[in-house]
Amino acid sequence: MTTGRREFLTTVSQAIGATVLLGASTSEAFAQQSAPTVGEVIDLILKTIPGAPFAKTVDTLKSGNASQKVTGIITTMFATVEVIRKAIATNVNFIIVHEPTFYNHLDETAWLEQDEVYKYKRDLLEKHNIAVWRFHDYIHSHVPDGVRMGVMKALGYEKYYDEKNPRVFTIPFLKLKDIVANAKQKLGIPTVRVIGDMDQSCQRILLLPGASGGRSHIQGIETEKPDLLIIGELSEWETAEYVRDARLKGDKLSLIVLGHAVSEEPGLEWMVPFLQPMVPGIKVTHIPTGNPFLFA
C-alpha cells in the first residue's frame, strides 16, 4: 500500500470515528434535552385530575425543583431512606410518594431543623439532586380513585366493582376468615387486626383504604350497611369501639384493619401503567415501602 493511500484511509477512519462520536454525543445531548422536567411530568399528571390544580393541597415538591430534567421515576408510599438509596443506585432523580416525607401531614420542617434524622434525609436528597413530590390529594381525586383501584385489583375484586358506588363490593358469601386469608395472601402481609366472628358470612364489603378517620368510617357504615368494613388505619377509641358496640347491640358487622401503608401501596403500583405512557422515554418503577413493624 502506498504512503498516500495509507494516509487517505487513516484520514477517512478518523473522520468516521469523529462522526460516530459526534453522533453519539449529539444523541445523548438530544436525549437529555428532550427529557421532561419534574414540573412537566407533574403537569401531565394534573391534566388527568378533575379540577386540578387545587388552590389548597399537600401535593407539593418536598425536595428538588420543578426545572430539573428527569432521569427516572420511582413511585412509592414513603420516601424512606432505603427508597432514596435505591433511587441513587439506579440513577433515578424523581420520587413520587403518597404520604409525607418529613413525619407530619404538611411536611413542616421548621421544628426539625436541628433534628439529626431529618437532616440526614434532607442532606441525602439534596446531595443527589432528588426531587420528591407528594401525590395524595390528586390521586384520590382521580376518577376513579387511583388508590382504591389499585387495592381493588390487588384483592381480586375487579369483577365486583360498581362505578356508581366504587367503595362497596358485593361478593359471593364468604366466611370472614376466608376474606382475611385472601387479604393477607394477596397483599403479602403476615397479620391483620379483626373484630368479628371469623365464621360469619360476609357479602357486602365497604372498602376504605388508608386513614379516612372515625367519622368517615362510621358514616360509611350507617350509609352502606356493610357486613364488613375493611380499612387501613384507625384511632382505637373511634371506629373499633363503634364496631364493638354495634356487635353488642346485635349487628352482624365485622372489621378488618390492614395497616395504613399496605392498604394504599397498591395505588402507587397502579401509578406505573397510569404514568408510563405519558413519559415514554423515562422508566417508571414501583418500589414497595413495606411495613416497618415486627409482630412479636
Output DSSP code: residue 236. I
Q: From edge to edge, which strands make up the β-sheet containing 131-134? A: 61-63, 131-134, 94-97, 73-76, 284-286
* Residue 124 φ/ψ region, left for φ over 0, alpha for ψ in the -120 to 50 degree band, beta for the rest: alpha
The three-state secondary structure class of 19 is helix
Q: CA distances (Å), 172 to each of 159, 176, 201, 205, in order?
A: 11, 12, 10, 11
CA distance 206 to 185: 19
**Does the annotation flag 260 for ligand binding?**
yes
**Does the annotation flag 264 for ligand binding?**
yes
**Does the annotation flag 142 for ligand binding?**
no
Element (H, E) at 268: helix 260-275
How many Å separate Cα 99 from the centre of its chain? Answer: 8
Specify whether the CB–CB gap between 186 and 243 falls below 8 A.
Answer: no
Single out the residue of 167, 165, 251, 253 nearest to residue 216, CA to CA: 167
List the binding residues for a divalent metal cation.
Answer: 98, 260, 264
List the binding residues.
Answer: 98, 260, 264
